[in-house]
Structure 1
Amino acid sequence: MSQSGQPNGEKRPTTVARKSDRELVVTRAFDSPASAVFEAWTRPELFRLWWAPKSMGATLSACEIDARTGGGYRITFGEGADSATFFGKYLEVTPPSRLVWTNEESADAPVTTVTFEDDGERTLLMMSELYPSADPVADAVAGMQAMSAEQFAQLDELLASRRPPA
């Protein structure tokens, strides 16, 4: 990791900032159109290729995504007693520009909003996590910086591998 919290050699910086005492915002640009980035967030076969940070040694043993307003998701890291499952429902799905979902695995879990701002062949992604109280936010900042930087670098690699040759 570099001092900025970015994996060494990462092409695009991932920034994490507190927007308020209850909200964190993660920002990252990708060299792919919004439709491709949105698809990587909503198709389980693509999502499972980039979501689990490789440095953690965890893999997604299950990944169910019903990306429609009112649909749900269920993601499981690991196997057996060492597994952790995250789940919730989609409050808003507006392809290819916006996703809003609940995180229902704990009472302190945030509501997540991801926007995909299309700029031709580039996308500015903003992910906001709004927590029910300020308590979990301070603990989330450092972990979010490290994890999201690695996840988004992996997403960048996936998107690059899916681009047509120049």
Structure 2
Amino acid sequence: MTHRDLTITRVFDAPRELVFRAWTEPEQLASWLGPEDFAASVAKLDLRAGGAWRARIHSEKHGVARWMQGAYREISPPGRLVFTFSWDDPQDVVGETLVTITLADVGDKTEMTFHQAPFPTEEERAGHHDGWSSTFDDLARYLEEAR
């Protein structure tokens, strides 16, 4: 792996359809999106190829609010979701990345492979790794409650 690519693989104790809906239904996404100490509010999910999405995460503890946005490139339920990702911040150095989520059945569980690229530096990739890893801990808790 180079500093330009981030791949995280997690197995969730939930069916693939539920994991896919957690990514694609606004009220579900808002229930888990964001790293530790962050909460989310989803403003828009236009779930179709070319459709835009936009969400806000915020932390009272850290005094931070950030908007993220992108466009869907591929929606293949319940196994694959591809979308662009960028922060709505003029000082953001990462720019636009492409996120590919692949979901596979592993018995009655789901293996999610999350891939995001390209990153301009190892530091930016590492920061996103930490943020997404924490976010996926929240997703695991959410899926456990949703089952």
Q: How many residues align?
A: 139
The whole-number CA distance in structure 2 between the counterparts of 1:104 and 1:153 is 22
Q: Give the secondary structure class of the aligned counterpart of 1:53.
A: coil
Deviation, structure 1 residue 22: 2.2
Deviation, structure 1 residue 85: 1.3
Deviation, structure 1 residue 92: 0.4
Match of 1:20 in 2: 2
Deviation, structure 1 residue 104: 4.2
Structure showing the higher strand proportion among its residues: 2
Please give the per-residue CA displacement for 1:22-45, whole angstroms capped at 9, x wherever unaligned.
Answer: 211111111111111000011110
In the superposition, the TM-score normalised over structure 1's length comes to 0.74
Q: Give the secondary structure class of the aligned counterpart of 2:112.
A: strand
Of residues 21-30 and 62-71 in structure 1, the stretch that sits farther from structure 2 once superposed is 62-71
Match of 1:159 in 2: 143
Letter in 2 for 1:159: L
The whole-number CA distance in structure 2 between the counterparts of 1:152 and 1:104 is 18
Match of 1:111 in 2: 98
The whole-number CA distance in structure 1 between the counterparts of 2:128 and 2:3 is 15
- Contact residue 70 and residue 90 of structure 1 kept, 8 A: yes
1:51 pairs with 2:33: yes
- Give ranges in structure 1 of 5+ residues lacking alignment: 1-18
Q: Give the secondary structure class of the aligned counterpart of 1:143.
A: helix
The whole-number CA distance in structure 1 between the counterparts of 2:36 and 2:4 is 29
Amino-acid identity (%): 30
Of residues 104-113 and 117-126 in structure 1, the stretch that sits farther from structure 2 once superposed is 104-113
Letter in 1 for 2:79: S
Deviation, structure 1 residue 21: 4.4
Deviation, structure 1 residue 76: 1.5
The whole-number CA distance in structure 1 between the counterparts of 2:133 and 2:107 is 23
Letter in 2 for 1:63: A
Moved over 3 A (4+): 104-107
Letter in 2 for 1:48: A
- Contact residue 33 and residue 120 of structure 1 kept, 8 A: no
Larger Rg: 1
Letter in 2 for 1:71: G
Match of 2:52 in 1: 72
